[in-house]
Amino acid sequence: MNDQVSKQQPIDPKHLALQKTLDIICGKWRLYIIYQLGTEARRYGELRRMIPAISEKVLIQELKALVSLGVVEKKSYNEVPPRVDYSLTEKGLQVLPTLLKLTAIGELFLEP
């Protein structure tokens, strides 16, 4: 009707930070992948075996996403058969302790 008031809502910086956090941890497997990486680098196939319920496509997709978010880094060694491993970046390691505390929340709400 009247668009003098532009649609830009005042962007709450807290909201922005929360959204970024959600980008990183939301998704059925994100947190669990981060958790499995922990402090050790893991090969793609290793991760597959550690999380058998995830599909290949989704694992790769999630790893890619985590790489582009800057949480995980990927190293390819030029070998045959191919060899690739994934590990947490420095920032990823920084936030790991906070993320691991999230299991406590789940545990609290799991008990009846």
Scan residues 37-66 and list those touching a second copy (CB under 8 A): 52-53
Distance CA 61, CA 68 (A): 11
C-alpha neighbours within 13 Å on the C-beta side of residue 101: 3
In this chain, which of 55, 70, 94, 100 binds DNA, going by CB under 7 A?
A: 55
Cross-strand pairs, 72: 88
Are the C-beta atoms of 41 and 87 separated by less than 8 Å? yes
Q: What are phi and psi of 83, to 5 degrees?
A: -140, 125
Site membership for DNA, residue 93 (CB under 7 A): no
Select the binding partner of residue 43 from DNA, a second copy, none (C-beta < 5 to 8 A, by kind).
DNA
Site membership for a second copy, residue 107 (CB under 8 A): yes
| CB 9 to a second copy: min, Å | 5
Token pair of 62 as six digits: 């999630």
Site membership for DNA, residue 43 (CB under 7 A): yes
Select the binding partner of residue 40 from DNA, a second copy, none (C-beta < 5 to 8 A, by kind).
none
Quick note: the x/- pattern for DNA over 12-41, rule CB under 7 A, is --------------xxxx------------
Distance CA 28, CA 69 (A): 17
